[in-house]
């Protein structure tokens, strides 16, 4: 048996799919040929690692965790949607109501204002404070 034939048939050899005579000649070749023996060893090792990893089971709570994550994501999405709805509808409504309330309060405050009723006469004590009467403008200009 040559190395090429041996290597080509190793997978079938490993899985027990070879006829008895071919199987025997490969077994014999593997004992005699170091290169093919190393090749077969790596082949076996890789098969074993892959077999071990592919037989592992996922976490038994995986489905529950997935559903919990989906639920949490949907809750976040709902909150975002509510906020979007608030900013799209309620925010302009609130702004309008605020402006209307401010105008209303302003008007009401304006109506409450009572103007001071001034009498035509100057109180006696202020008469002396009328500087214009004490010193006429004409007098100042001639100076």
Partner 1 sequence: MPSVTEPEIIESILSGNRNDFRLLVERYQQMIFRTCMGYLHNEEDANELTQDVFVSAYQHLSSFRQQSALSTWLYRIAVNASLNFLRSRKKPVLRLDVLSDRNAAAGISLPDADFENPEQIMISREQKRLIESALDGLPDKQKTAFILSKYDNLPQKEIAGIMEINEGAVESLIQRAKTNLQKKLMGYFKNITSTRRKI
User: What gap in Å lies between CA 123 and CA 126, rounded to an integer?
Assistant: 6
For partner 1, the binding residue among 2, 17, 27, 75 (CB under 8 A) is: 27
Q: Does residue 12 belong to the site contacting partner 1 (CB under 8 A)?
A: no
Q: Does residue 17 belong to the site contacting partner 1 (CB under 8 A)?
A: no
The region of 47-55, 92-100, 102-110, 119-127 touching partner 1 under the rule CB under 8 A is: 47-55
Contact between residue 27 and residue 54 where contact means Cβ atoms under 8 Å apart? no
Q: Does residue 58 belong to the site contacting partner 1 (CB under 8 A)?
A: yes
User: What gap in Å lies between CA 48 and CA 42, rounded to an integer?
Assistant: 10
Structure tokens at 31: 């004992």
Q: CB-wise, 31 or 84, nearer to partner 1?
A: 31
CA dist list (Å): 29 to 1, 34, 100: 7, 9, 98
Q: Which residues bind partner 1 (CB under 8 A)?
A: 14, 27, 30-31, 34, 37-54, 56-59, 62-63, 65-67, 69-71, 73-74
């Amino acid at each position: 048996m040559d190395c090429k034939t041996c290597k080509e048939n190793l997978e079938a050899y490993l899985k027990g799919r070879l006829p008895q005579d071919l199987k025997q000649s490969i077994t014999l070749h593997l004992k005699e040929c170091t290169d093919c023996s190393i090749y077969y060893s790596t082949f076996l090792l890789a098969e074993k690692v892959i077999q071990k990893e592919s037989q592992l089971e996922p976490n038994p709570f995986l489905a529950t965790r997935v559903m919990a994550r989906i639920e949490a994501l949907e809750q976040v999405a709902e909150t975002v949607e509510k906020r979007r709805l608030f900013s799209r509808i309620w925010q302009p409504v609130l702004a309008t109501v605020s402006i209307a309330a401010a105008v209303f309060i302003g008007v009401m405050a304006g109506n409450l204002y009572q103007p001071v009723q001034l009498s035509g006469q100057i109180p006696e004590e202020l008469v002396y404070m009328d500087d214009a009467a004490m010193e006429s403008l004409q007098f100042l200009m001639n100076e």
